[in-house]
Amino acid sequence: LLTIPLGYRFSAMYAGIRKVEKDDLGLIVSDQPASAAAVFTRNLVQAAPVRIGRKHLRASRGKLRAILVNAGNANCATRTGDQVALATCEALAARLKVPMEQILPASTGVIGVELNPKRITKSIPALVKGLSADRFDDVAHAIMTTDTIPKTSSREISVDGRAVRIAGMTKGSGMIQPDMATTLGFVITDAELSPGDLRGLLAAAVETSYNRVSVDGDTSTNDTVAVLANGASGVKPKGLALDEFGAALTAVLEDLARQIARDGEGARKLVTIDVTGLPDDGGAQRIARGIANSPLVKTAIAGSDPNWGRILSAAGNAGVPFDPAKVDIYLQGKLVCQGGLAARFSEAQMKKRLDERECEVRFIVRGRGRGAARFWTCDFTEDYIRINASYRT
Amino acid sequence: LLTIPLGYRFSAMYAGIRKVEKDDLGLIVSDQPASAAAVFTRNLVQAAPVRIGRKHLRASRGKLRAILVNAGNANCATRTGDQVALATCEALAARLKVPMEQILPASTGVIGVELNPKRITKSIPALVKGLSADRFDDVAHAIMTTDTIPKTSSREISVDGRAVRIAGMTKGSGMIQPDMATTLGFVITDAELSPGDLRGLLAAAVETSYNRVSVDGDTSTNDTVAVLANGASGVKPKGLALDEFGAALTAVLEDLARQIARDGEGARKLVTIDVTGLPDDGGAQRIARGIANSPLVKTAIAGSDPNWGRILSAAGNAGVPFDPAKVDIYLQGKLVCQGGLAARFSEAQMKKRLDERECEVRFIVRGRGRGAARFWTCDFTEDYIRINASYRT
């Protein structure tokens, strides 16, 4: 069960943006101006809501009142993108009676198709009317595209006996690849924090969560992870409590990131890749990413095939020097490659172990290297192709 | 019909290396020591035949008499890899009565499974007995793994009224990705050339052929492209004739590379990607590669979906600066994206055009940039997954 932070309300509805009648418009409102931080896609092609969102965060000096999000259309690479994002923020600002720059717009869906702003502006009165403190899940549903399940996570920590709550929602599920937040993710907390503190905590948390998950190696034009802190708990974490808050925020983001990998397009399995023994973390990350992005590794896992040769080969392509003769590879905790060579294992038993819904790959370079990295991905199935060969039609 | 260079003989047979009874051992012999050059995988994990092949070329000062190749086992990441490669070369050298270092070994197939050298050494008498000038195609068949068709190409040029012949064979079909020769490719010619000249010509030819083709973004541990020049035509191209020879060699390699893309695992379509208008060729190549490797672009093409937004987004991830507002994208010669925005086109007609077996993607950055690159890939279908989820079983 989720713990929802105090001082927020949520709403969702169907605005006719996507063809299927399923909520496609979501709203998160903080009762008070909240400190805010966000990370955006590093793709050179950036959607209008990303550009406007960045501008609003700057103009409002890191204060937000609301996040307005739609699914079904990315509002990217269109003639009217900026106007649409601005018009919808404007309409919402007027309705909520808040400054327009305190609204963060976000969109996900198809690229290059004009988004009719009226579908959103017309819906805003009903959307605002529907605001309620217990509709967090409705927004998590509304932002889904090819996601098969909504993705949420929450934590509560205690600071001097007083509770502080963090809750997050996210959506995948193709186009998930680092670097950077590679999806939409919205996290709210009732802790009191400065925008500067929040920015630092978010950057650190994203590094070990959203930046370590890959579905297909593509990065979208709309990726946004935003966090709001409205202070409604009356608690301002400092010192050790701030560290504890940062750890809880990271835990929420990691949980969301894992859910993204698990629900990757067509995925049946969550794959966790641990790489250790490299001279530095950067090298370990590159190898982990190389393994996570290899279609040959991901299809082998889909087929429950303990094909460690593909893992070794993918690592060898990462551009990071290591001695293949010092590599041990474990699958599901079982040694399958020892010193770069086949270990003794039962193919039949290994196949059965790999039929599990969660797969662990451990890639170890023996020696004194302390560089390590963890990465999440999913297996690569025929359904990925099926979903993506017919996304628009 | 292929033109086969003079002074070569070929043989192939089933040595019991692969499970299916289908030729898995191939031999190319030059009647005289031939000048030779080769390019090998850049993967950090290199198969034994790659290591031994490199050594032999150095020891023989770029002279080869034979190429001995097997399919069904990569002879990579095994305890006995080097001994196996050496033992098979030794057995063949004894039989052919040539120095062992004039033999180039090559292997393709599964990684990490011990290769029994006896399967090959025992077969060598019969293999050598089977040598014939008209069995080029048999070797092209023997090196196939998941390839659905053998891949060969040839050219003939005339130097001062005398004919010089070039013929090549290659195999794909997953794990095809630059940089570098990313497969096995063997090219023979009866021109007379020094090993040094041959090295230069091969390096240039590989650059615009094997280095510009991608199936799944993976690079194998065994990739080798070798060229032999035995001088049996009695013609030694110089000056302009040498340029002409280089152009013919490049044409053969490009033809082979295109065939690899067309026959990529599960592929139904050959996709040619042309990128122009960047400040330099390197940037154009990175963008072309980014488009070619994007699973979302490749699945869209599989589904005949003119989803140019994915092309623009993949280009935006390539790490090369360009102005998205200056991008035009053509699919099958039709403008689908103009200045980064949707152009007017009929979805139905475009879908029909994309049903063709060959697809052309043109990505143009308007302006004065002269940097250009061409790349080949294939569409990404459910069959790719089916093939790779069960490769070993």
Cβ of B296 within 8 Å of Cβ of A175? The answer is yes
Question: Mean pLDDT across the stretch A220-235?
Answer: 92
Give the Å distances, CA to CA, from A306 to A298, A309, B380.
11, 9, 23
Question: Mean pLDDT across the stretch A86-92?
Answer: 98
Q: Which residues pair with A70 in a beta bridge?
A: A25, A107
Give the Å distances, CA to CA, from A299 to A311, A329, B385.
11, 18, 6
Question: Mean pLDDT across the stretch B16-28?
Answer: 94
Smallest Cβ–Cβ distance between B341 and the set A78, A308, A322 belongs to A78
Question: Mean pLDDT across the stretch A45-71?
Answer: 96
pLDDT in tens, B34-58: 999 999 988 888 899 999 999 999 9
Q: Residue B386: its chain A contacts at CB < 8 A?
A: 382
Question: Mean pLDDT across the stretch A329-353?
Answer: 93
Residue that wins the pLDDT comparison between A299 and A57: A57
DSSP annotation string for B54-105: HHHHHHTTSEEEEEEEEEEE---S-TTHHHHHHHHHHHHHHHHTS-GGGEEE
Query: Hey, CA dihedral for A280, A281, A283, A287, is it positive or negative?
Result: positive
Q: Cis peptide leading into B390, omega within 30 of 0?
A: no
Cβ of B44 within 8 Å of Cβ of A217? The answer is no
Cβ of A217 within 8 Å of Cβ of B382? The answer is no
The residue count of chain B comes to 393
User: Chains A, B: CB contacts under 8 A, how many?
Assistant: 198
A182 pLDDT exceeds 50? no
Cα of B110 to nearest chain A Cα, Å: 8
Determine the Cα–Cα distance for residues B4 and B19; give it in Å rounded to an integer. Answer: 31
A182 is catalytic: yes
Q: Residue B243's CB: how many other CB atoms inside 10 A?
A: 12
Does the pTM of the predicted model rise above 0.90?
no
Question: Mean pLDDT across the stretch A74-93?
Answer: 95
Cβ of A218 within 8 Å of Cβ of B79? The answer is no
* Beta carbons within 8 Å of B29's beta carbon, 6+ residues apart: B8, B9, B10, B11, B65, B66, B96, B131
Smallest Cβ–Cβ distance between B308 and the set A112, A217, A303 belongs to A112
**Nearest of A88, A45, A90 to residue A69 by alpha carbon:** A88
Q: Residue B114: its chain A contacts at CB < 8 A?
A: 342
- Interface ipTM: 0.75
Share of chain A above pLDDT 70, in %: 94
Cα of B294 to nearest chain A Cα, Å: 6
B393 pLDDT exceeds 60? no
Q: Residue A137's CB: how many other CB atoms inside 10 A?
A: 15
The per-residue pLDDT for A175 is: 46
Smallest Cβ–Cβ distance between A295 and the set B218, B315, B317 belongs to B218
| Cα atoms found within 13 Å of the Cα of residue A72, Cβ hemisphere only | 22
Cα of B45 to nearest chain A Cα, Å: 5
**Nearest of A366, A292, A299, A304 to residue A332 by alpha carbon:** A304
| Nearest-by-CA chain A residue for B79 | A341
Cα of A98 to nearest chain B Cα, Å: 33
Q: Are A77 and A109 in contact (CB under 8 A)?
A: no
What is the average pLDDT score of chain B? 91
Residue that wins the pLDDT comparison between A294 and B70: B70
Question: Mean pLDDT across the stretch B365-376?
Answer: 93
Identified catalytic residue from A78, A182, A250, A272: A182
Give the Å distances, CA to CA, from B356 to A17, A271, B348, B351.
32, 37, 14, 9
Determine the Cα–Cα distance for residues B207 and B128; give it in Å rounded to an integer. Answer: 34
* Beta carbons within 8 Å of A382's beta carbon, 6+ residues apart: A266, B382, B385, B386
pLDDT in tens, A159-178: 999 999 999 999 986 544 43
| Nearest-by-CA chain A residue for B308 | A112
